[in-house]
Structure 1
Amino acid sequence: MRGEDLRGLRRQLRLSQSALKDRLNASLGRSYDKPKVSRWENGHEPVPQEVAEALRGLAHGRPRHARILALANQKGGVGKTTSALNLACGLARAGARVLLLDLDPQATATVALLAGDSVEAYRQGRTMAHVILRDLPLEQAILGQEDALLAGRAGFDLAPSHIDLAETDGRREPGFDVALRESLETVRDRYDVILLDAPPNLGMLTVMALAAAEDVIIPVRTEPYDSMGVGLILTTIGKVQRRLNPGLRLAGILPTQYGARKSVDREVLEQLVGIMRDRAPVLEPVPASAVFGHAARNGRIALEASPGAAAPAVYGRLAAALLAGGPLPQMASVPPQEALA
C-alpha cells in the first residue's frame, strides 16, 4: 500500500491521523504514534503489511458513503459558485451520482439551475432554508433528475437555497453547527459526491459546511486583495478542524479568472504558492474566459455548453482526479514574462 492510498482510506473513514493510530493500536496491539502515520502517508516510511490489511478491513466494513466536498471563501466574486456548478457537471458527466447543496442565501447556483422555478421550490417548502431552520428532512428538499423543477437542466441533483437561509446566523441552539452534517448522513448512501457551495462570508453556514465536509477547496481570484484574504478562511478551517471536524482536509487552493499574460496574476500565483507551502497544493488555475458568461446568459453550465474550451476543461480534469482518488491537478510552474511575449 502506498502512502497516498493510506491517506485516501483514512479520509474515507473520516478519521484524523490521531484517531487512525488509536484504531490501529487497539486492533493490532501496537503503539504507533501520529508522526508515524504522517511518515507513512508522506511516503517517508513504507506502510507495514499488517497496517494495510487492518485499514482495508476497516474500510470494507464501513457502509458506502458519498465524499463531501465544500467550496468556501469569505470573499465574494471569486468564482466559487461557478466552480461548484462546473465541478458538479464534470463529476456527473464522468458518471458519478452528484448532489449540489446551495448554502448561499443569495441562491446563485439555485437560480442558475432553476431560473424562475426557484420561487416555486420555496413555495413547495423544498429549500435548504426549510432543512436548516425548520427541520425539514434533507431528502424532502432534494430536487432529483426526475423532478419537474430540475428535469433536463442538469445531470446532478440539487438542494436549492433561498434568502431566508440568511437567518441561520441568528439561530442559537446547542449543536447547531453540526446540524447540516447530521442531515447529510441520511442521504450519503445515495451519492458518490456531495458538493457544498458555501456563502461568501465566515458565518454559521460556512462553519456548518466545513463541519460536514471531508475536503475543502478554496477558490481564489488571482487578484492581490483576494490572495491577501486567504488567511481568514485558513484560520476558520483550522478552528473547525480542532473543534468540530478533525477529519477535514484542505484539498487545495483553486486560482480562478487567471490571466496568464498578466504579470499581476503570475505574481499572485507565486504568492499563493509561498503562502500554502507545505499546507496544501495550489491547483491548476482556471483561465479567465468569456465562455462562463456566455453559458450563464443562455441558462447553461460552461462545461456542458463548451466542454472543449480551455477554461471549463480545468473543471473536467479536477472532477476526474476527484473520482480517481489520486492527486488533484496542480499548477505548473509560473512562466516568465518573456515566454509569454
Structure 2
Amino acid sequence: MTGEELRVFRHRLGGLTQEQFALWLNDRLGKRIDNARISKWESGGERIPKEIAAFIASQQLPARILAFTNQKGGVGKTTTAINIAASLAGSGRRVLLVDADPQASASESLGVPLVDLYRERRTLPHVLLDAAPVDDALIPVGNFTLLPSHIDLAKADGVREPGTEMLLRECLAPLRQRFDHIIIDGPPNLGMMTLMTLTAADEVFVPVRTEPMDTMGLALMQDTIAKVQRRLNPGLRLAGILPTQFRRRKSVDKQILDLLIASLGATVPVLAPIDDNSAFGKANLNYKPAVELYPDAAGVATYRELAAAIAAGTSLPLAQASTVTGG
C-alpha cells in the first residue's frame, strides 16, 4: 500500500483528519498510533506496516455520495451527473444515479419508461413520500443503476413533517454498502429537495455556465451549503465549482472563468471547464451518456478526467486562468 492509497482511504472514511484517523485505527486495532506516524506513512517517510495495510485492504467502505446541484436550471447539471456516473461505471465501479429533480431530466435523458414506472410505484417520490420499497425503484441503465424521478417529487416542497430534510439520506443509507459511488442530480431551485440532496451528500459540486448572469447566484448557493453544513450535515464538503458550456473562442467565457478563479480559487476549487459541444445534444437524442458515444470529444473527455480523479481520490483537474484566445 502506498501513502497516496492510505490518504484516499482516510478521505473516503468521511474526510477524517490525520489525528481522527489515528484514533479510528487505534480503536479497531488496539494500537497507539499518533497523527505524526500517519503523516509519515502518507508522505512516504515511513513504510506502512503490513498489518495496517492488510487491515485497510479488508475494509469495505460505504459509497461516497456526490451531489451535483445549482439553484439555476440550464447549467449542465444533469449532463454532468449522467456523464460522471457513466464514467465511474465504465471503470468498473458500482454506481447509482439518483434523479432528485422533479423535472426528471436525467430519467428522460436515459430513456427509461417513466409512465410505466410511475404506475408501478417505482420512482423516487413513491419511495420518499409514500414509503415504497427503494429496491423496487432501482432500474439498470447501461452500466449503472438509476433511481428515477417524477413530477410528483415536487410535492416534497409541501411536506412539513419534522426531519423532512433527512428523508433522502435515510433512503440511501441501506444502499451505501451496495455501491461504490452514489451520484445525485439535484433540482434547479433551493426548495426542500435541494435541502434533502445536500443533507444526504458527502460532497457537492456546483455546475455553472460561464455566463455573467449565471455566476451571480453562486453566493446564494454557497450560503445554502454553509447553512446545511452548520445545521444538518457537518460532514458536507463543497468539492468544487464546475464551469460548463465553455466556449473557448469567446472572450466573455474567458473573462468569467478568470473571475471565478480570482474570486473563488483560494477557498473553493474551480474545476477544469467543460467545453460546449454538440456531442452532448447528440448523445441525449440517443438516450445515451456522451462519454459512451463520443468519449474523446472536447468537454466529454474532461468529464472522464474528472471521474478518474474522483475514483482515485486524487486532486481534481483545476481550471487555468488566461489560457483562451479572445474572439
TM-score range, shorter chain: 0.7 to 0.9
Distance in 2 between the 1:245 and 1:185 partners?
14
State whether structure 2 residue 288 is matched by structure 1 residue 300: yes
What residue in structure 2 maps to residue 203 of structure 1? 191
Cα shift at 1:90: 1.0
- Residue of structure 2 aligned with 1:77, choices 74, 77, 80: 74
Q: Normalising by structure 2, what TM-score?
A: 0.87
The residue aligned with 1:127 is 123
Helix, strand or coil: the match of 1:158?
strand
Unmatched tracts of structure 1, length 5 or more: 145-149
State the shift of 1:311 in Å.
1.8
1:65 paired residue number: 62
Alpha-carbon distance in 1 for matches of 2:146, 2:320? 33
Matched, 1:191 2:179: yes
Taking the aligned partners of 2:4 and 2:215, their CA distance within structure 1 comes to 28
Question: Percent identity over the alignment?
Answer: 46
Letter of the 1:121 counterpart: L
Pair 169,55 (structure 1): closer, same or farther in 2 beyond 3 Å: farther
- Equivalent position to 1:233, from 214, 221, 224: 221
Instruction: Kindly provide the CA deviation profile for residues 249-288 of structure 1, in whole angstroms up to 9, marking residues without a partner as x.
Output: 1111111000111111011111111222332211111101
Deviation of 1:64 (Å): 2.5
Residues 190/285 of structure 1: CA separation in 2 closer, same or farther (3 Å cut): same
Instruction: Give 5+ residue unaligned stretches, structure 2.
Output: none
Structure 1 residue 309: Cα displacement: 1.1
Alignment pair present for 1:142 and 2:130: no
Q: Is the contact made by 2:22 and 2:33 (CA closer than 8 Å) also made in structure 1?
A: no
Aligned to 2:143: 155
Deviations 1:203-243 (A, max 9, x none): 11111111111111111100011111111111111111112
Question: Does the 8 Å CA contact 1:24/1:30 hold for their aligned counterparts?
Answer: no
| Cα shift readout 1:79-104 (whole Å, capped 9, x = no counterpart) | 00011111111111111111100000
Within the alignment, does 1:172 sit opposite 2:168 as a pair?
A: no
* Counterpart pick for 2:323 among 312, 315, 335: 335
Q: What is the distance in 2 between the residues matched to 1:89 and 1:69?
A: 14
Q: How many residues end up aligned between the 2 structures?
A: 324
Candidates 203, 226, 231, aligned match of 1:215: 203
The CA deviation at 1:9 is: 3.5
Partner residue, 1:13: 13
Q: Quick one: which amino acid aligns to residue 188 of structure 1? A: R
CA-based RMSD: 3.2
Note if 1:111 corresponds to 2:99: no
